[in-house]
Structure 1
């Protein structure tokens, strides 16, 4: 589409008031081609020619040659650069030659299904290739009967790390033929495997390689990644050996415009701005009316549904033929419904979609003209990943970042040169995390006895961890080999991810009588005096009901609490009951002029002190156990469009709890008095220090900033205290490392804040962590938290004795 014309169209609107603060033009790039060392076979040439591909891009030829030579590699090229062919060509070539199989690992089930569709489309056009290829998706949704056929017959298995961990490796004898012939392992979207998930996936991959050696195979790894700072280092840490980085992108790219848009302020209130959601609707509407196709990325499910609803209503009011060609795409929709939307988007039948980052990964949705980023997504890498969803080959495209009211968003809009100069963040993973390894070494011993040669596979900590497991009776040594002592499969109960694996079904019931059986009013679908003892209710006994969606257990209490208005495909559904034991939310179709927002309460309570330290003479420093709890306690009724608060209701649900470990730091009275004398509050300095610590701790603890979190409160110790905790049940040692290396941690924090050229604080120093009150709420209903006091933070660090610099090469790190 003509992007310049669209920008001019926006500027001529009556409500335009200079919101377009900056437009960066990224020049077009011509394609560069190369020939592989040996030509492709006839069937592969034919299928590529059928797709209009006569020559390979330079990065595709390099990937093919490296795979043929048996070298591990990771391809890091742009969106729509043909990364999928990088691994499919050598795999299909080997399959045609006979006796080779491949395991494709994707971070999500939806991506595996999408790639299966692409594989079938690629191979179906050539009879010889179609006869040789036998692909199958093996995940939690695969029927039992089909699983047996996939194990025995498939030569291309598409799965995910969770399934490999819990359902394939523990039962590897059933897969003996597959592992014997396994030659390739694909790690798609490998940049997602960082932090806690990355540590678990690294251990799972080591278990996989060990099982492969047992069956006499030595597969190579073919990985793809979005643009991050250290793709080669990440993959090397995941698989335990060096990899080749293929980063010279030979694909063409049309001219790309990247616009920074700041919603207009409300009157004279410089602190309030027009909703980014409303401006997203305007951008989508203008794009659709200009005969373009657009995708808006939102940070929450509720925002995606609201933008969809407002856009549909706006187009309908103008009698647009496109009013029924807009949708919301997010987690929670049923798989068939999501796949239908993906196909409609690819085929152009959908003109605009409001989506969460569920569409950020590589699902093929075709060529889009405009990508709208509704609020800064949190990282530079995610920004470019989402922006890359617009534009294909030679066509012009546009990405628009709509700033929210948060200080980070406003900082980026004021300093576009900062935004465009930032490099993507590093992905951090610790393959030697002892907490993770202890879980997986038990699983490895269940799969095959652990012997001397295996210790090197799991790193230098394997020996002491195995000794500890033996002392606890969790492993048994017999003639130098270590066996699992029997009983339950040890992978049961070991999740690779932060979130709960439990899923609630959202069930539509006809009508609604809302009264519980048994004469007692069952608020929220359970007896409030005994939440664990549920009885059948009028809803659960209704014969006519339909599952319309699902939601994970963590999110259920924020989205489908009783009397909540659940937004689905732009329609409103009233939640009548939440059955916590049955994991079902009963809803009825009800047209309302309002939606609801959960009111959450959260707290961190210190439950036990494991260790104290006098490393900081002017602060109390401890490490121990904490309980992190959060709970939906009420809800607000918010009127559509105007966002007026028209009501408040109570919610009676049990709190969710995370028992984990943390370190905490409390400045002494003298520090607080000195800060007060200089016009600063210790609590303000601690908030800035907390934000710095969450970013800096990964540098000393080998985790991702999303693996830790922190609070500042006084109710645990009686004075302002910073608590930094692991976001994983039982903890993974990150807080413990922060406690043990507190001097290093504080020195890094001081270096980050002191070396930053800003005056009052910015995303690169005191920053802003994820402080959203509800992870699925409408961001427009919460004003951004103020930027922490840089002066107070720097003074606090000086008073605590933080070294001026132990890492002179460290620069201000992106938030």
Structure 2
């Protein structure tokens, strides 16, 4: 693909109105090769020949050398750099030397596991080692009848942390032969393991280690990550093992173009709103497809992927291009397993030229050779943005990534300040395996599997011994002869959800001509936002009207119907303080001054679909609103809340600023800085500004997890440090009026099931007001200390 020629044609198109806000060209890079210290077995040399690999890239040779030296490693290189060979080759070599050895592959999603299963089967056949290398996938989709055979014969087991947690480790006796011969554990896409999920996965990995050791094995850990701010630190926290970082990327890279595309004003005179980002993306993707460019588009919500596909189908059909219409598909969560895999295989094989996806294809599923990626809206982190952009140009050819902005404050800031994308360091992934509440959940599961000894508790680190003692006092564990035993009749793993969302799902069923067909599924948290009665459910270009939502049967009945609109839920939410446990003044170390008040207690977070709106396709014109009668969803959790001193609020008023603006800015800053102290991810913490409940202006932060996990308790204890760090972040930011790096909303966007085209998002709070209140709160007269 000649990107410069394509962009030149775009600028001559009749729809072009100076949409290109910035362009960056990333120059190509030549391959860097190296020979590993130890030669590969002959059969693996045949494999490389079959894969058209003449030499190994530098990082691949590094990985082989590290494995041969008995080291654990994490390889962190770019998209399509051949990371998979870094662990496939050591596993194959081990099987050739010792056919009885075993390898466990852990992937964050089932789709990734099945993608790698296909790659492994192909490589095993090419190497001629099918007699000793037997890959098998073991997850929730694996038929019960096939599971015993996989347990007996799989030498390479592919699964996910959830399955390992609930279906393998608790039944380790059935897997005794596998664990006894376990040599390698592969953790792929570890950048996905962050926050509460990552902290739980770290506990699962420690449980895996002790079960393996129980059967006499001590496996090496081979990890891989997309580009990330702290890959070695994350891998070491996940595994509890020292890691060698391999980040010298030897793979070649073609020239890459990155374009920031800002939809034009609907009316240049009034400049009230911009043209639909979804429609702009449709026109861009259509132009790319017509140019023969394999293209992937990433939407921020399921509805975006479906709308984009619908718009493309209708436009290409009207323009008499059925050849192109037949070669695009949507891809998102909620599709049935067979449907997902059929799309993945069609994309990999080249039968599809384009795909309209959510972030479901952001991870390393092999999508074949693509020329372009369209990113519709900022995907919330720079890591995700570069990961999505990297899905194009997966070979050495020239490629193009286009970031299409929504008309919201974050996207528009990035259009004006491209350096935020190109020059800012990537985010770090944060986990805390020693969080007491997460540790208690994992210790309970571990005790169910095998009694806990003092050495076992040391493996979990932190205050694991104290946590076990507390669990014994609560009769969750029983201590006998210096060991802790699970004392409940309950199945421990069933009580622990790694991903913090309900595992229950609703089936979406079409009833037609007396037959019932399951179209897809949706998790129980999302169901009231997607499949309420009257909703239009979009699926593979078809519109279905939801006739009934049966919450007891977890079933939505739908009917195919042609309509000229789609629907969006109207959500009402609140955060209520229901009980105060602790309160005292905020004291600052040094002068001991008391400035404002801090509290900790119980909060109730509630949200509900109260109505739904109908919007015209393409124009997004609002054509109606209907009330919805659905039960609310709630989280009972813990929170901390802070109140500034009266003199600080008076100083704010005297300066002519609004309190809500300043408090909102400080809330956003606290949501950003608290994770650095509480070892959480910013998406694990929510926040609101409220003055009605307590009769005084209050910032409330809460754990986004049922029962709380201690993050806001930590925030309460470190209140003075939090406020100082917020002030340092604010004053250290060089922006003029606020940006995503300071007072901009960190995670307070509308629900993920909304079409971002319809919502302007949250405006940036006034930076000047935030600064005045924060400085007055801290009684600062000079720079932040």
User: What's the TM-score once normalised by structure 1's chain length?
Assistant: 0.93
Match of 1:90 in 2: 90
1:788 paired residue among 765, 769, 779: 765
Shift of 1:330: 0.6
Q: Distance in 2 between matches of 1:752 and 1:337?
A: 46
Deviation string for 1:1-48 (max 9, x for gaps)? 111111011011012121112111101011111111111112111121
Q: Distance in 1 between matches of 2:485 and 2:276?
A: 60
Shift of 1:667: 2.8
Q: Distance in 2 between matches of 1:496 and 1:290?
A: 44
Q: Distance in 2 between matches of 1:138 and 1:807?
A: 54
Shift of 1:418: 2.9
Match of 1:608 in 2: 579
Q: Distance in 1 between matches of 2:381 and 2:715?
A: 23
Deviation string for 1:315-352 (max 9, x for gaps)? 11111121222221110111111111111112222222
Shift of 1:432: 0.8
Q: Residues 456 and 802 (structure 1 numbering): CA distance in 2 closer, same or farther, change over 3 Å? A: farther
Q: Distance in 2 between matches of 1:708 and 1:34?
A: 45
In the TM superposition, what are the counterparts of 1:548-563 in structure 2 within 5 Å?
548-563=519-534
Match of 1:380 in 2: 382
2:495 paired residue among 454, 478, 493: 493
The answer on 1:323 being equivalent to 2:322 is: no
2:696 paired residue among 699, 719, 728: 719
The answer on 1:79 being equivalent to 2:79 is: yes
Match of 1:766 in 2: 743
The answer on 1:709 being equivalent to 2:686 is: yes
Aligned positions, number: 776
Does the CA contact (< 8 Å) of 1:251 and 1:393 recur in 2? no
Deviation string for 1:130-179 (max 9, x for gaps)? 11111111111112221111112111111111111111111111111000
2:708 paired residue among 731, 739, 760: 731
In the TM superposition, what are the counterparts of 1:474-493 in structure 2 within 5 Å?
474-493=476-495
Q: Residues 805 and 209 (structure 1 numbering): CA distance in 2 closer, same or farther, change over 3 Å? A: farther
Match of 1:20 in 2: 20
Deviation string for 1:758-784 (max 9, x for gaps)? 121111110123333332111111123
2:672 paired residue among 677, 683, 695: 695
Shift of 1:718: 2.4
Deviation string for 1:526-555 (max 9, x for gaps)? xxxxxxxxxxxxxxxxx5100011111111
Deviation string for 1:483-516 (max 9, x for gaps)? 11241121112101122111111001116xxxxx
Give 3-state SS (helix, strand or coil) of 1:576's partner. strand
Q: Distance in 2 between matches of 1:210 and 1:229?
A: 30
Give 3-state SS (helix, strand or coil) of 1:47's partner. helix
Q: Distance in 2 between matches of 1:712 and 1:386?
A: 34
In the TM superposition, what are the counterparts of 1:70-149 in structure 2 within 5 Å?
70-97=70-97, 98-127=99-128, 129-149=129-149
Deviation string for 1:189-232 (max 9, x for gaps)? 00111111111111111111111111110001000001011100
Deviation string for 1:409-464 (max 9, x for gaps)? 11111122232101110111112101111111111111111112212101031111
Q: Distance in 2 between matches of 1:802 and 1:13?
A: 57
Q: Residues 13 and 506 (structure 1 numbering): CA distance in 2 closer, same or farther, change over 3 Å? A: same
Does the CA contact (< 8 Å) of 1:611 and 1:622 recur in 2? yes
Q: Distance in 1 between matches of 2:370 and 2:622?
A: 37
Match of 1:44 in 2: 44
Does the CA contact (< 8 Å) of 2:645 and 2:777 recur in 1? no
Q: Distance in 1 between matches of 2:216 and 2:270?
A: 70
Q: Distance in 1 between matches of 2:474 and 2:340?
A: 47
1:398 paired residue among 397, 400, 422: 400
Q: Distance in 2 between matches of 1:2 and 1:19?
A: 20
Match of 1:469 in 2: 471
146-155 or 379-388, which moves further after superposition? Answer: 146-155
Deviation string for 1:42-75 (max 9, x for gaps)? 2111121111112111111110111122110001
1:637 paired residue among 597, 614, 618: 614
Q: Residues 707 and 724 (structure 1 numbering): CA distance in 2 closer, same or farther, change over 3 Å? A: same
Q: Distance in 2 between matches of 1:773 and 1:37?
A: 53
Does the CA contact (< 8 Å) of 2:409 and 2:760 recur in 1? no
Match of 1:578 in 2: 549
Give 3-state SS (helix, strand or coil) of 2:563's partner. coil
User: What's the TM-score once normalised by structure 2's chain length?
Assistant: 0.97
Shift of 1:621: 1.7
Does the CA contact (< 8 Å) of 1:747 and 1:805 recur in 2? no
Match of 1:309 in 2: 310
Q: Distance in 2 between matches of 1:51 and 1:473?
A: 57
Does the CA contact (< 8 Å) of 1:71 and 1:244 recur in 2? yes
Q: Distance in 1 between matches of 2:7 and 2:779?
A: 49
In the TM superposition, what are the counterparts of 1:352-363 in structure 2 within 5 Å?
352-363=354-365
Q: Distance in 2 between matches of 1:641 and 1:83?
A: 41
Deviation string for 1:709-763 (max 9, x for gaps)? 1111223212332111011110010000011001111111000111111121111
Match of 2:655 in 1: 678
RMSD of aligned residue pairs (Cα, Å): 1.5
Shift of 1:807: 9.1
1:750 paired residue among 708, 721, 727: 727
Shift of 1:392: 2.7
Give 3-state SS (helix, strand or coil) of 2:526's partner. helix
In structure 2, the gaps of 5 or more residues are 588-593
Q: Distance in 2 between matches of 1:386 and 1:741?
A: 36
In the TM superposition, what are the counterparts of 1:226-245 in structure 2 within 5 Å?
226-245=226-245
Match of 1:219 in 2: 219
Q: Residues 181 and 710 (structure 1 numbering): CA distance in 2 closer, same or farther, change over 3 Å? A: same
The answer on 1:544 being equivalent to 2:515 is: yes
Match of 1:519 in 2: none
Q: Residues 672 and 243 (structure 1 numbering): CA distance in 2 closer, same or farther, change over 3 Å? A: same
Q: Distance in 2 between matches of 1:785 and 1:472?
A: 44
Does the CA contact (< 8 Å) of 1:750 and 1:804 recur in 2? no
Q: Distance in 2 between matches of 1:453 and 1:494?
A: 23
